[in-house]
Amino acid sequence: MSSREIKKVLIANRGEIACRIMWTCKEMGIKTVAVHSEADRDALHVRFADEAICIGKPPSAESYLNIPAIISAAEITNVDAIHPGYGFLAESETFASISEDCNIKFIGPRPNIIKMMGDKVEARRTMQAAGVPILPGSPDPIANTDDALKIAKEIGFPLIIKAAAGGGGRGMRIVRQEKDLENQLQTAQQEALAAFKDGSVYIERYIERPRHIEIQVLADEHGNCIHLGERECTIQRRHQKLLEEAPSVAISERLRDQMGAVAVKACQEIGYSNAGTFEFLLDEDGSFYFMEMNTRIQVEHPVTEMVTLADIVYNQIRVAMGEELKYRQEDVQIVGHAIECRINAEDPEKFTPSPGRITAFNIPGGPGVRVDTAVYPDYVVPPYYDSMIAKLIVHARTRETAIRRMRRALEMMVIEGIKTTIPLHLKIMDDERFQSGNFSTKFMEEMNGGTQKTAA
Ligand code: MV4
């Protein structure tokens, strides 16, 4: 039952994810249109595409975030749909609704769903109503200190103050004692206002040593929904994920079924369509709590693709055409173990960007190795965008073999001319705590006995 054909797609993105989307479009016989900034004339996504249009100056605000320029490019090239990738305009309700108003299918959920999930207070409320466990906290944004004190009395300390318009860890404040509450509340509100032009904050009980576990869902526009299991995303630094795995050592088959069922039911209740991700905090006692929902394809989607053999982009495009999902939950099987290392053009010690010319470049191969990248020998990494230049993904029968495979793949991945996070990933592969799987969000601070300094 196909209600609309998609023969040509504009990819409103750059870098590895733009190339990744084009891989699937080519396999599906769909024509591709790249958009690019003046800094990206030599970018791989431009060369791969059937057509390419320059949409503005190097800074993102004047190109990859320029809605009129992108919509014009889509109109000129007469595309049927836009794939937003991740970052940039992927979670912009405005961009999604303008696309649809121009009769261009936005490959993602409906604009009102994007908007709702962008407001973390509303997302929490909606998820609770849909039967998803949430942490005890404030049902509405905090009005004043008295309001905060009242919530604190109910849930106790420590607690965490988060920005309603936030996400990804920006503008969070942990409060351990009542005497700090007033001060921290004001700081959080000011930070939220400065960062998001919205000072609304909310309060939750704080979990000291959680794991970050997320569930990948796929939903069509006919009410069918499945989940593709979990991703383990606990290992982060400064709220930037460093590496991800599927499955998680912390998730039993029973817990996976339970978390997956909760996510699928919630999608069906809110009328979610396309690919999506439920982020959960997993407590040490095995309880899980909703954190946020991402309404886009994610950076770490390949680990799920490796262990399920699903092509998530293919499924996104199919459901955007109005087709029904091909698979039922019983058809989804998790096979083996996958790990993804994010390779950033960064000084691994200082975590500062390291743009510049790549003088030597070798991609590892062999069984169970996948590299998602848009760089090539002699490519110049521009300073304007995200520093992630490649994702190295391995798949093996067991976690132990996957770690061995990742180590050798990292050793054989050669990137010269700029600094990268490859040495840091080698250190993680050799870490006993990582190998045992016994880690929390404090892993990077604790690695090497806490020599790795990090903020908050
Ligand atoms: C929390 C938390 C503990 N308790 N919320 C960080 C990212 C943002 N999405 C939410 N984050 C956290 N929220 C409660 N109630 C701990 C974190 C957190 C974290 C979460 C996942 C991965 C890494 C993290 C690092 C520090 C803090």
Which residue has the CA at smallest separation from atom 24 of ligand 1?
A: 441
> Is residue 162 located within the same domain as residue 59?
no
CB 391 within 8 A of CB 436: no
* Residue whose CA is at the smallest distance from ligand 1 atom 19: 441
Spatial neighbors of 402 by CB under 8 A, at least 6 apart, are 245, 336, 337, 338, 339, 368, 394, 395, 396
Q: Is 134 in the pocket of ligand 1 (CB under 6 A)?
A: no
70 contacts 55 by C-beta, under 8 angstroms: yes
- Torsion, Cα 373 378 383 386, to 10 degrees, reads 10
Shared domain check, 256 and 194: no
Q: Can you tell me which atom of ligand 1 is nearest the CA of 204?
A: 15
Ligand 1 centre to CA of 133 (Å) is: 16
Is the distance from the beta carbon of residue 121 to the nearest atom of ligand 1 less than 6 Å?
no
Asked if the structure places residue 3 within a domain, the reply is: no
Question: DSSP letters of 248-277?
Answer: -TT--HHHHHHHHHHHHHHHHHHT--EEEE
CB-ligand 1 contact for 169 (6 Å cutoff):
yes
Task: Tell me which residue has its CA closest to atom 3 in ligand 1.
Answer: 207
pTM of the complete model = 0.96
Q: Are 158 and 208 in contact (CB under 8 A)?
A: yes
The pLDDT value given to residue 349: 81
pLDDT recorded at residue 346? 96
User: What's the 220 CA to ligand 1 centre distance in angstroms?
Assistant: 30
Helix, strand or coil for residue 102? coil
The response to whether residue 206 sits with its C-beta less than 6 Å from ligand 1 reads yes
Counting ligand 1 atoms within 8 A of each CB, the residue from 162, 212, 293, 452 with the most, and so the one to mutate, is 212
Q: One digit per residue, pLDDT tens: the chain, 456 residues? A: 457 999 999 999 999 999 999 999 999 999 999 999 999 999 999 999 999 999 999 999 999 999 999 999 999 999 999 999 999 999 999 999 999 999 999 999 999 999 999 999 999 999 999 999 999 999 999 999 999 999 999 999 999 999 999 877 777 999 999 999 999 999 999 999 999 999 999 999 999 999 999 999 999 999 999 999 999 999 999 999 999 999 999 999 999 999 999 999 999 999 999 999 999 999 999 999 999 999 999 999 999 999 999 999 999 999 999 999 999 999 999 999 999 999 999 997 888 999 999 999 999 999 999 999 999 999 999 999 999 999 999 999 999 999 999 999 999 999 999 999 999 999 999 999 999 999 999 999 999 755 444 443
Q: Are residues 185 and 238 in the same domain?
A: no
* Total count of domains within the chain: 3
- CATH number for the domain spanning 102: value is 3.40.50.20
Whether 296 is catalytic: yes
Q: Is residue 359 one of the residues assigned to a domain? A: yes
Residue 103 belongs to what domain range? Answer: 8-107
- Let me know if residue 129 belongs to a domain: no
Burial (CB < 10 A; 0-12, 13-18, 19+), residue 442, is middle
Q: Is 382 in the pocket of ligand 1 (CB under 6 A)?
A: no
Are residues 391 and 367 part of one domain?
Answer: yes
Q: Which of 211, 237, 296, 318 is catalytic?
A: 296
CATH number of the domain where residue 329 is located: 3.30.470.20
Q: Is 128 within the bounds of a domain?
A: no
Cα 344 to middle of ligand 1, angstroms: 22
Domain termination residue (choose one: 88, 107, 126) = 107
274 plus 187 within the same structural domain: no
Q: What is the pLDDT of residue 2?
A: 56
Closest-lying ligand 1 atom to the alpha carbon of residue 212? 21
Domain boundary among 186, 205, 224: 205
Same domain, 177 and 222: no
Residue 78: what pLDDT?
A: 98
